[in-house]
Amino acid sequence: MDLEDIADLLYAEAPAGFTARRSELAAAALQGEGRDLAEQVKQLRKPTVAAWLVNQLARSGEELGALLELGERMRRAQANLDGPLMATLGRERQQQVSRLLRRARVIATDRSQGWTAALEREVEATAVAALADPEAAAAVASGRLTRALSYAGLGEVDVSEATATPLSPRRAPAGPAADAEPGRAAREAAARDAAAEREAAGVLDEARTHARELTRRVRRAERDLDVLRRDLERAVRAVEDAESAHRAAAERAIASQAAAAPPGRS
């Protein structure tokens, strides 16, 4: 076995038995492949309870696969600025996350692991991160998370040191219900999409910035236009007042000239 094989076995272990299982696998590696592999096994980090639960979700059912597929559709809809589709997928997201949390609770109960509100929040945050970011999705699909993930709503998810081994388009983690080929395909697709998503996100940010600037300029122009319209109205009233005054003055001048003319002159 290589390190990937050992990691697949080890991260299926419940947190309570992780350390003992790691020692066992390290000893087996020392007897078989040698000291270097044994030392690598010893360095594999114990997962948090939330990370362990997500790892089991990656192995034991279709809920996580459906969630990751939904994440791909959501990112495409966002890149295309498809508002109606995003709203529809947002409702589906709530359903998928709720279904995933119910499955996680069942796994925790079956494995005699306490289920708390804090644990639920961490599992939910990891699911939301996987929906938002392709690299987070690949980390979750690996089945070798060591810590929960979180998404702040902007930028990329921090997946540094979030998995026991570096992410790679290798087979899906081993497990009773795991399907190796779809798992590998999902990770390969996530890896391919990561660069494209970052590029699309950059284009989107530029487009939004340009649109915001144009919106500000339009609003300034509209305010300036309102001011000019008010000035024009005042100017038109001033012209009308001046024309009335001029007519009145002209009439008085004509009347005065007529009154001042010598008698007998026509």
Exposure of 89 by Cβ count < 10 A (0-12 exposed, 13-18 middle, 19+ buried)?
buried
Give the pLDDT band of residue 23 (cuts 50, 70, 90): very high
Greater confidence, 243 or 182? 243
Q: Is the pLDDT of residue 9 over 50?
A: yes
Helix 83-110 / helix 117-132 crossing angle, nearest 10 deg = 140
pLDDT digits (tens, 9 = 90+) for 28-68: 988 877 788 889 989 999 999 999 999 999 987 678 888 89
Is 197:75 a contact under the CB 8 Å cutoff?
A: yes
Q: What is the CA radius of gyration of the chain?
A: 36
Paired strand residues for 145: 163
Cβ–Cβ contacts within 10 Å for residue 85, how many?
15
Q: What is the pLDDT of residue 214?
A: 80
pLDDT digits (tens, 9 = 90+) for 135-193: 999 999 989 999 999 998 777 898 988 998 887 644 443 333 344 444 445 544 555 56
Is 64:71 a contact under the CB 8 Å cutoff?
A: no
